[in-house]
């Protein structure tokens, strides 16, 4: 088999054979196919697409490039959630212990943030002592004691994707639905969950800005899950304004703990409950209702156990940024837009996110929202608070926000769009 023949076949719109796909993924993982050859193939796929059969085989080959985890020794069914990423998306934090409190096990392998969306591990690392890296045996132990574990994916999980995703990032080949779907699903299937719920974000703060492209990505991923024997459903949810009232690592942990204590912003609670119900249904668990588990303290109890089992102190004060700056509403009226992308970039520039994989993040940095679209505001009232340890960043954050806020005159009819836009199974 040779790489040039595979590249030419896709360039000329031929359907790749199973043998070609298996060979190219394996040879690339071993270093026999060079980065420039894989980059050419990824570009040919981006331009000419892949059939459903090719996408299933591509995903399977990436899964087979590494280890597949096995939780069958656990006495509980496993279920997991994956979000395609958004601003203020802290849902995994309350969701994993909540689902555990309702009777399913949640093995959640998560990533770090890159660019304007935050990463679950960065958020949890703002809790003093908490460790993201666990061995397989340790991961199983946390699952046994807390019912849920959130940790970093080991190097052995879908190594072909690790290499290919980094290459796509620098060759303009991320935005291909078959490549995104196979990248996400190879990791989630290799993780060994029995059921999977996908939260596919749509809007200015998301990968997919149109409902149609988000639906196609969701449909492709649901099919990949089904082909691999993992019951998969997808919710399409809005991401044109941040989720909740915070974007930034420790700020989002604080808000997640509020949800676990039975409070928290209405949109975060709504999405957490909807995803929890889907995860439990996927796992076939008909235990405690998630709303009850938020109110009766059992979800909080699982959170505390999960954090402590990974070395964290659930009672330790969370880091707070050294400097704050309030952004006032520029006019009186109805807030009709508080753009997710603008807030995400502002939080990133304040130090909450990283531009390169190796950059550090500031635990306390981020943006706090004092109003959401649909609210009536008065000129001069606090609309946002910016948090950072490095005040020279305030100006850059304000630049990012400059075109992100719209206030319409008093009396303008405005109803914010629903959070949950569609469901696919």
Q: Which residue, 174 or 375, has its beta carbon nearer to ligand URA?
A: 174
Cα torsion 157, 163, 169, 170 to 10°: value is 170
Residue 89 among the catalytic residues: no
What's the residue count for the chain? 425
Q: How far is the CB of 83 from ligand URA (least distance, A)?
A: 10
The contacts of residue 317 (CB under 8 Å, 6+ apart) are: none
Distance CA 407, CA 332 (A): 7
* Residue of 10, 57, 81, 82 with catalytic role: 82
Cα-to-chain-centroid distance, residue 313: 24
Residue 399 among the catalytic residues: no
* Residue of 163, 168, 302, 354 with catalytic role: 168
CA atoms within 13 A on the CB side of 260: 26
Q: Which residue, 6 or 179, has its beta carbon nearer to ligand URA?
A: 179
Q: Build a one-symbol-per-residue string for 110-149: x at contacts with ligand URA by CB under 6 A, - elsewhere.
A: ----------------------------------------
> Does 217 contact ligand URA by CB under 6 A?
no
- Count of residues interacting with ligand URA (CB under 6 A): 6
Q: How far is the CB of 112 from ligand URA (least distance, A)?
A: 12
Share in percent of the chain as helix, strand, coil (round to 5): 45, 15, 40
| CA-CA-CA-CA torsion sign (152, 158, 163, 165) | negative
Q: Build a one-symbol-per-residue string for 156-195: x at contacts with ligand URA by CB under 6 A, - elsewhere.
A: ---------x--------x----xx--xx-----------
Site for ligand URA in 227-256 (CB under 6 A): none
The contacts of residue 58 (CB under 8 Å, 6+ apart) are: 21, 25, 50, 178, 182
CA atoms within 13 A on the CB side of 152: 17
* Residue of 10, 90, 123, 187 with catalytic role: 187
Q: How far is the CB of 165 from ligand URA (least distance, A)?
A: 5
Q: Which residue is nearest to ligand URA (CB)?
A: 183
Q: How many CB atoms lie within 10 A of CB 295?
A: 12
Binding interface with ligand URA (CB under 6 A): 165, 174, 179-180, 183-184
> Active-site residues: which are they?
82, 161, 168, 183, 187
């Amino acid at each position: 088999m040779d790489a040039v023949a595979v590249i030419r076949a896709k360039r000329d719109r031929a359907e790749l054979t199973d043998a070609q796909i298996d060979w190219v993924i394996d040879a690339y993982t071993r270093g026999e196919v060079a980065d420039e050859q894989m980059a050419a193939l990824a570009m040919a796929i981006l331009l000419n697409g892949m059939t459903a059969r090719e996408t299933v085989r591509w995903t399977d080959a990436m899964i087979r490039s590494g280890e597949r985890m096995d939780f069958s020794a656990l006495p509980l069914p496993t279920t997991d959630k994956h979000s395609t990423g958004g601003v203020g998306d802290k849902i995994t934090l309350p969701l994993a212990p909540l689902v555990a409190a309702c009777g399913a096990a949640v093995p959640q392998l998560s990533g770090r943030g890159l660019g304007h969306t935050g990463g679950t591990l960065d958020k949890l690392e703002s809790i003093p002592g908490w460790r993201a890296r666990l061995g397989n045996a340790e991961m199983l132990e946390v699952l046994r004691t807390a019912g849920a574990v959130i940790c970093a994916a080991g190097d052995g999980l879908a190594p072909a994707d690790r290499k290919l995703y980094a290459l796509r990032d620098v060759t303009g080949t991320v935005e291909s639905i078959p490549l995104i779907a196979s990248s996400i699903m190879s990791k989630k299937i290799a993780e060994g969950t029995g059921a999977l719920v996908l939260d596919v974000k749509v809007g200015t703060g998301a990968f997919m800005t149109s409902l149609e492209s988000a639906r196609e990505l969701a449909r492709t991923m649901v099919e990949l899950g089904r082909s691999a024997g993992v019951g998969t459903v997808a919710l399409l949810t809005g991401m044109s304004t941040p989720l909740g009232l915070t974007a930034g690592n420790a700020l989002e942990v604080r808000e997640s703990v509020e949800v676990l204590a039975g409070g928290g912003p209405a949109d975060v609670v709504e999405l957490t409950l909807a995803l929890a119900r889907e995860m439990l249904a996927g796992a076939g668990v008909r235990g405690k209702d998630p709303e009850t588990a938020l109110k009766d303290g059992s979800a909080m109890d699982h959170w505390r156990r999960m954090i402590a089992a990974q070395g964290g102190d659930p009672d330790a004060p969370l880091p707070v940024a050294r400097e704050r700056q309030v952004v006032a509403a520029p006019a009186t009226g109805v807030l009709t837009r508080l753009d997710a992308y603008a807030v995400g970039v502002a939080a990133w520039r304040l130090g909450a996110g990283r531009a390169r994989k190796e950059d550090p993040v500031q635990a306390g940095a981020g943006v706090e929202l004092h109003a959401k679209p649909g609210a009536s505001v008065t000129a001069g009232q606090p609309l946002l608070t910016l948090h950072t340890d490095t005040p020279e960043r305030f100006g850059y954050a304000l630049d990012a926000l400059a075109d992100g806020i719209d206030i319409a005159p008093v009396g303008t009819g405005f109803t914010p769009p629903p959070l949950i836009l569609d469901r696919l199974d």
